[in-house]
Structure 1
Amino acid sequence: MAKYEIFLPAMGEGIIEATITKLLKNEGDSVEEEDSIMEIATDKVDSEIPAPANGVIAKLLFEEGDIAQVGDVVAILVTEGEELATEKADNTPEKVKTENTIAKNITPVVKEENSPTISNKTENGSFISPLVRTIAQKENISSEELNQIKGSGEGNRITKTDVLSYLENRKSAGTSLKMAEPIVAPVSSGPSAAPTASHKSYEGENVEIIEMDRMRKLIAKYMVNSKQVSPHVTSFIDVDVTGLVQWRNKVKNQFLEKEKQKLTFTPIFVEAVTSAIKDYPMINVSVDGDRIIRKKFINIGMATALPSGNLIVPVIKNANEKNLIGITHQVNDLAERARGNKLLPEDITGSTFTITNLGAFGSTTGTPIINQPEVAILAVGAIKKKPAVIETPQGDTIGIRHIMVMSLSYDHRVVDGGLGGMFLKRVAENLENFDTTRTF
């Protein structure tokens, strides 16, 4: 005897919209409480929207591929005895009301006398979200200009990042620009995006065309964005981790028995990096226009490969407040849930520095791309046995040592070679001088 409006829920810091990727129920379907009604996807994580009670789906207000804002009504559920309104039309009062809902925590824009009137669709029929229409009205972007922007969202829909990129380019050029290719929004006031390189089409039985999945598209967009925003510089250093390797080999079985956790090298790297950040806090910053934002907390992102071949970066929050045991527990938990596609939005937001382990795939070194809006990323290579010069009080000798190459890519806008080099050296010193007498 009740009607429920089912809203797109808040899904973490900075997430204001989601794409309806799959409708799991149709109008008129009976559902039980907690049954999944639809699958949604953000630029951070995939999720589902459950039914709040037993009942019948009276109306679905979005179709697959549509983009909804946080706070939008996405479906209406009625319990037994309520009248069903199953007719689906884009111009129903409920639909119109939904499409004009502004995401929660976003201040509505009062339309000025000369502000352009923005339709909820472009001339080619692509949906324009309420947030994009709000931005367009505030910035006096006309419908004609919106029609020129090729969206990067599902079905070429114009997203917030597309319209912000357009504004950046319009501001720098002093005039309206015609967008020939999708543009990735720069962080703060970064440079405009470069056009996609042209290529010829290939045909024949010896060629397979593979469409990028949603996550691969996002990864590609973020990587291009990072290179456009940050002038990358990469420094390298050899690290003798012989003592560290021997210590881990000695204690790993005991650690597993006592803590029920596998002790990998990753928690040790996280601990060494966290300690170095305390010594060089200007590595733990981000850039906002002409301002430098220094974080007093340390959240370490760890790049993790997924079974699909894609990449995700779960975050170890407040790593500076954890010991090696605590870091190990969180590293293993995040890695396991990442591989099982069970990460929550808050698990992959808020990082201030990222580590990527190239050695997991046998690579000795590489030049990692900065995880925006951070200003540095550390890559650790495979640990290899190599002949090395060993300095002793009796003189230099040659010995077999466990050597690892580390590389640090940093944003040269705010991190110069001196700071980057000293930070990288401090991480190396933390690993080379690892206390092999410690008990976890």
Structure 2
Amino acid sequence: MAKVEVVMPQMGESVMEGTIIEWAKKVGERVEADETLLEIATDKVDTEVPSPEAGVLIEILAKEDETVEVGQPIAIIDTEGEEFTEDEEPAPEKEKSADKSSVNAEKSKVKEEEPEPDISAEEETLEDGDKGERIEVVMPQMGESVMEGTIIEWAKKVGDSVEADETLLEIATDKVDTEVPSPESGILAEILAEEGETVEVGQPIAIIATGKAASSAPLKEEKKDSAASSNGSPETDQTDAGSVANSTPQRIGSDGRFYSPLVRSIAKEEGITMQELESIEGSGKDGRVSKSDILSYVEERKAGKTEAPSEEKSSGLQKPVPESKTAAGKKTISAGELNVSRPHQNMEIVKMDRMRKMIAEHMVRSKQTSAHVTTFSDVDVTNIVKWRESNKNKFYEQTGIKLTYTPIFIEAFIQAIGEFPLINSSVDGDEIHLKKDINFGIAVALGEGGKGGLIVPVIKQAQDKNLIGLANSVSELALKARNKDLSPDELIGGTITLTNYGSVGNLMGTPIIHQPQVAILGTGVIEKRPVVLETEHGDLIGIRHKMYLSMSYDHRIIDGAHGGAFMGRVKQLLESFDPKRAI
């Protein structure tokens, strides 16, 4: 028997002790290496403690709510042990083989004596071949650089049936939001990670039961329901359940905020209801209630400075509706939302959604990283406009793609980058990384009407594509963005970006560089303007299609002369576009 001590971990230089919030495993249960063994809290952080080895938890040395010094043993794991129940003692190694036959005999006697099948007997029968499988669903790898994902919403509840490849849940990473399909058909037997929880790639997030294991899953729920109904009237039970749900601190509140185990533990000890907990203003990230916030509230409540919010009477069990989903009291704002209603009060606070916060963080980080400079060119795109108008129908008939200005512009940008390769680079410390491939990023609206915010999918190796290839890539990526169907690999590796603020009628703009790139191009609205034209007969005034082109670049490596020369070359290529060019 190889025994391994689990000790209270060091959760920071100044942290000398930790409090055990909850054991995820019981004595006798098996635990895998790196699987969550318990949850602890310190005055700095709440965290889960993984098991150092795979084995059986044979002894818990520190109970829940007990405070233990760093380095002190809190549990013992037997790496060669077998599972047992808490009222049983693990058999010594020498006795196991000798007692195996007698144990089996005892089990046989029990089966013969008991006319009604119990749970343990049922499990043994199922283990013989009819039980089916319990399949782990893990957090998927959503791109090479993505190491974790956040669960946005479960599409199924525990006990619900799910088909293979049917959407099981929706997750979010720092690259993309996506739906996760079920790997098998069966019953969702267990949810291991709640909504709003961030989970590392490869970690289990749910259990799908198949075969008889699946058929038995909903029966347990039915037994619970029947037992509950036999203990009292439905109305009484519903009212009691509602009050319990309202009083017991939950992991995720109706306002969408996450409450840590430490905060919930303090709330439970102090008799703070869920309704009270949600009324506390949090000072942490995303308005989260910290340890100091709840302790301050407790002190104020004891001093009589604050009153607990009155509980509304309910006729039955109702799911709380987050204020963010109500029309009257909107508390969140989508990343690209435009129709924000005027506040009724002098000031109204709205929460950013996850995408809005990500965009904000990226923008601020870029400004802090790069020395931004923006230069402008006034480009005559009359030849391009005339050519597109003459060929867009023919182009669609031949390719099935609507011809826009974007691929035409990108084609010219790629040609100019070939002559100015420094534009297609990145900075790493004191090194400049020149890129061979031109991976062209396009800033596009995410979701219908751009309500999902802005995202930058990438056309990989754009220098190898002709106009039709570029048009196809632009169209495909834009469609995927609107349908929120982009893969993480389509969002990484960009070397330069184009944003089109002219699509909403803007003349010009100063776009922010998409890190770690060193330049971003922007195209304004194309409009007819009177222009002085130089001819052999003298100066004339004509009507031309004009567009402002801008480029923000990183002045750390690109000087004004270099950036200006590049823009001049792009202007020349666009203005000299051949109006008689074949498709």
Name the TM-score, length of structure 1 as normaliser.
0.72
Q: Measure, in 2, the Cα distance between the counterparts of 1:390 and 1:400.
A: 9
Q: Which residue of 1 aligns with 2:458?
A: 315
State the secondary structure of the residue aligned to 2:183: coil
Q: Which residue of 2 aligns with 1:221?
A: 361
Are the aligned partners of 1:364 and 1:381 in contact in 2 as well (CA < 8 Å)? Answer: yes
Are the aligned partners of 2:450 and 2:482 in contact in 1 as well (CA < 8 Å)? Answer: no
TM-superposed CA distance for 1:20, in Å, is 0.6
Q: Which residue of 2 aligns with 1:354?
A: 497
Q: Which residue of 1 aligns with 2:203?
A: 72
Q: Measure, in 2, the Cα distance between the counterparts of 1:289 and 1:84.
A: 56
Are the aligned partners of 1:65 and 1:155 in contact in 2 as well (CA < 8 Å)? Answer: no
Q: Which residue of 2 aligns with 1:176?
A: none
User: Per the alignment, do residues 80 and 340 of structure 1 end up closer, same or farther by CA in structure 2, a change over 3 Å counting?
Assistant: same
Letter paired with 2:497: T
Q: Measure, in 1, the Cα distance between the counterparts of 2:454 and 2:360.
A: 11
TM-superposed CA distance for 1:155, in Å, is 5.4
Q: Which residue of 2 aligns with 1:400?
A: 543
Deviates more, 1:53-62 or 1:259-268: 53-62
Q: Which residue of 1 aligns with 2:553?
A: 410
Letter paired with 1:23: W
Q: Measure, in 1, the Cα distance between the counterparts of 2:470 and 2:372.
A: 29
TM-superposed CA distance for 1:58, in Å, is 2.6
User: Per the alignment, do residues 424 and 341 of structure 1 end up closer, same or farther by CA in structure 2, a change over 3 Å counting?
Assistant: same
Q: Measure, in 2, the Cα distance between the counterparts of 1:41 and 1:263.
A: 33
TM-superposed CA distance for 1:209, in Å, is 3.9
TM-superposed CA distance for 1:397, in Å, is 2.6
Q: Which residue of 2 aligns with 1:92?
A: none
Deviations 1:216-243, CA, capped at 9 Å, x for gaps: 1111111111111111100011111111
Which of the residues 471, 483, 494 maps onto 1:328? 471
Letter paired with 1:38: L
Letter paired with 1:401: R
State the secondary structure of the residue aligned to 2:362: helix
Q: Measure, in 2, the Cα distance between the counterparts of 1:156 and 1:417.
A: 49
Q: Which consecutive residues of structure 2, in runs of 5 or more, have no partner in the other structure?
A: 1-131, 222-259, 266-282, 291-341
Q: Measure, in 1, the Cα distance between the counterparts of 2:134 and 2:261.
A: 33
Letter paired with 2:392: K
Q: Measure, in 2, the Cα distance between the counterparts of 1:203 and 1:268.
A: 44
Are the aligned partners of 2:384 and 2:579 in contact in 1 as well (CA < 8 Å)? Answer: yes
State the secondary structure of the residue aligned to 1:81: helix
Q: Which residue of 2 aligns with 1:268?
A: 408
Are the aligned partners of 2:373 and 2:552 in contact in 1 as well (CA < 8 Å)? Answer: yes
1:24 counterpart = 2:164? no
Q: When the two structures are aligned, how many residues end up with a matched partner?
A: 340
1:10 counterpart = 2:153? no
Higher relative contact order (CA 8 A, sep 6+): 1
Are the aligned partners of 1:233 and 1:410 in contact in 2 as well (CA < 8 Å)? Answer: yes
Which of the residues 36, 39, 43 maps onto 2:167? 36
Q: Measure, in 1, the Cα distance between the counterparts of 2:530 and 2:388.
A: 21
Q: Measure, in 2, the Cα distance between the counterparts of 1:14 and 1:151.
A: 24
Name the TM-score, length of structure 2 as normaliser.
0.55
Deviations 1:104-136, CA, capped at 9 Å, x for gaps: xxxxxxxxxxxxxxxxx796579xxxxxxxxxx
User: Per the alignment, do residues 395 and 203 of structure 1 end up closer, same or farther by CA in structure 2, a change over 3 Å counting?
Assistant: closer
Q: Measure, in 2, the Cα distance between the counterparts of 1:253 and 1:156.
A: 59
Q: Measure, in 2, the Cα distance between the counterparts of 1:204 and 1:21.
A: 30
Q: Measure, in 2, the Cα distance between the counterparts of 1:124 and 1:429.
A: 63
The alignment's C-alpha RMSD in Å is 2.6
TM-superposed CA distance for 1:269, in Å, is 0.9
TM-superposed CA distance for 1:297, in Å, is 0.5
Q: Measure, in 2, the Cα distance between the counterparts of 1:206 and 1:272.
A: 50
Deviations 1:162-211, CA, capped at 9 Å, x for gaps: xxxxxxxxxxxxxxxxxxxxxxxxxxxxxxxxxxxxxxxx9854655433
Letter paired with 1:277: I
Determine what percentage of the aligned residue pairs are the same residue: 50
Q: Which residue of 1 aligns with 2:437?
A: 297
Q: Measure, in 2, the Cα distance between the counterparts of 1:320 and 1:209.
A: 47
Which of the residues 420, 425, 446 maps onto 1:280? 420
Letter paired with 1:282: L
Query: What are the residue-to-residue correspondences of 1:43-192 with 2, within 5 Å?
Result: 43-82=174-213, 151=285
Letter paired with 2:369: V
TM-superposed CA distance for 1:26, in Å, is 2.6
Letter paired with 1:58: A
Q: Measure, in 2, the Cα distance between the counterparts of 1:78 and 1:22.
A: 20
Are the aligned partners of 1:281 and 1:294 in contact in 2 as well (CA < 8 Å)? Answer: yes
Query: What are the residue-to-residue correspondences of 1:366-385 with 2, within 5 Å?
Result: 366-385=509-528
Query: What are the residue-to-residue correspondences of 1:198-237 with 2, within 5 Å?
Result: 204-205=344-345, 207-237=347-377
Are the aligned partners of 2:438 and 2:462 in contact in 1 as well (CA < 8 Å)? Answer: yes
Q: Which residue of 1 aligns with 2:8?
A: none
Q: Which consecutive residues of structure 1, in runs of 5 or more, have no partner in the other structure?
A: 88-120, 127-148, 158-201
Are the aligned partners of 1:22 and 1:64 in contact in 2 as well (CA < 8 Å)? Answer: yes
Q: Measure, in 2, the Cα distance between the counterparts of 1:35 and 1:400.
A: 57
Which of the residues 378, 382, 387 maps onto 1:247? 387
TM-superposed CA distance for 1:393, in Å, is 3.6
